[in-house]
Amino acid sequence: MAKLKYFLQESWLLLASSFCFGLLIAMTNTALSGRIEQNKAAKLNDLTKALLPGAEIFQPVEAEIQVERPDGAKEKAKIFEVLSGDKQRLGWSFNAHGTGFAGPVELVLAVDKDFQKIMGMNVLASSETPGFGDQIKSDYYRKQYAGAPAEQLTLAKSGDPTVADAQIVAITGATVSSQAVVEIVNTFLTQIKSQMQEKGLIANDNQ
Amino acid sequence: MTTSDSSTSGLYSKVLFTGIWRENPTFRLMIGMCPPLAVTTAVKPALTMGLSVIFVLICSNLVVSLMRKILKPHLRIIMFTVTIATFVTICDLFLKAYLPKMSEILGAYVPLIIVNCIIIFRAEACASKSGPVVSILDGLGMGVGFTLALCILSAVRELLATGHVFDIPVMPTAFVPWLALQMPVGAFVTLGLILGLINVLTRKRTVSEEELEAAAVQPMAEPQQPATA
């Protein structure tokens, strides 16, 4: 009992201020989270437009498509059907995320209308090391995804990054970040593809 | 400085200007050197960073100053950190909501303000010993000094690396951009040259003071010279 009293005597200020500060952050977050989400959505649309030229309409896919991440966590994938101004289907886009070298990495991927080819990849958010890991945002790295087949990708230490194939050449000095992006893409791409085929949203290329 | 009124305002302006020039955190104290090297590729992000630091510095100085009498000495560092982390998180949320582009460019450097030693240094050296008004002015002075340093560095780097300042083209079209200044090496070189320039400027003044002193001593020495000759 005396110990508890001593503990409270010493730390009451820390406990009380942690509570107040926590409340303050929670209030700010509540007030601003809507706007932050809006900014993110706008950025996602802008990035997708850059990957799929002519994209105008982003229609959320209603079907329940579950993605299981490597750590076992399951979640509903956010997929959009991307249409042009005159309602022609240009392709699909979806969010993919996972853990990079320094923290969470969020990507947006665009695939063509039959889910055969990746149209492009862009980084929505990351906190990789400036100058090294954050080169996953560089054209050199990103361009390798455009034109790659929509199947399991592999990472290579060296090779020709200009050839559009399932082999992604790693960034020198940032193998972990390069590998992380490939794994995130693989996790989401293959699972979304197979489930969309099962649900008949796209043609099954095995038949 | 004779009446109490003018001495208070004299103290306030001294506190304010100490941080801006005499103890400028970047150019004179050389503390918190991560942002001056990392976010000074262009003026806009540097200014955003500086304003964020001013906000965090003033808020944390005020809160630390208000709780200085009930602060347990051995728990003070953790209290400073909790206070600073709170305001940095709030600042980060505001940037994400209202300046998403800047927030993206600054990336991890905004949360890193938590461990910026200028802020914890001012909490320890000033706010935990002074009243709220002095603490706020101290935070403002140090913050403005820091922001000015960031702006000077980034203006030089942006001008020479891209020919723009504040995204406005200023150089003639024939200007060949010095791309190296945009890279980390550019930050070190620019910082070193500016520090050297400041040292030269301040040394000149002390030299001329010495000359004045020597000149003041001379008349005493002169009459003795003919006597010895």
Interface test with A, best of B49, B60, B82, B101 (most A CBs within 10 A): B82
Looking at residue B2, its pLDDT comes to 44
- Give whole-number Cα distances, A20 to A16, A17, B58, B60, B196, in Å: 6, 5, 18, 14, 46
Domain boundaries, chain A: 48-198
Task: Tell me if B71 and A13 make a contact (CB, 8 A cut-off).
Answer: yes
The Cα B128–Cα A6 span in angstroms is 24
Query: Chain B residues with CB inside 8 Å of A14's CB?
Result: 75, 78-79, 82
Looking at residue B210, its pLDDT comes to 65
Give the pLDDT confidence of B44-86 residue by residue, as tens digits: 999 999 999 999 999 999 999 999 999 888 899 999 999 999 9
Task: Tell me if A39 and B97 make a contact (CB, 8 A cut-off).
Answer: yes
Reduced to 3 DSSP states, what percent helix, strand and coil does chain A have, rounded to the nearest 5?
A: 40, 25, 35
Query: Chain A residues with CB inside 8 Å of B56's CB?
Result: none
Query: Chain A residues with CB inside 8 Å of B67's CB?
Result: 13, 17
Nearest-Cα residue of chain A relative to residue B84: A21
**Is B192 in CB contact (< 8 Å) with chain A?**
no
Give the pLDDT confidence of B148-187 residue by residue, as tens digits: 999 999 999 999 988 888 888 888 888 888 878 888 889 9
**Is B60 in CB contact (< 8 Å) with chain A?**
no
Interface test with A, best of B96, B110, B183 (most A CBs within 10 A): B96
Task: Tell me if B72 and A10 make a contact (CB, 8 A cut-off).
Answer: yes
pTM reported for the whole predicted model: 0.72
User: Nearest to residue A101, comparing CAs of A70, A125, A129, A79?
Assistant: A129
Element (H, E) at A119: strand A118-125
Task: Tell me if B83 and A24 make a contact (CB, 8 A cut-off).
Answer: no
Strand partners, A99: A104
Interface test with A, best of B104, B109, B112, B188 (most A CBs within 10 A): B104
Which of the residues in chain A have pLDDT under 50?
207
ipTM above 0.85, yes or no: no
Task: Tell me if B90 and A127 make a contact (CB, 8 A cut-off).
Answer: no
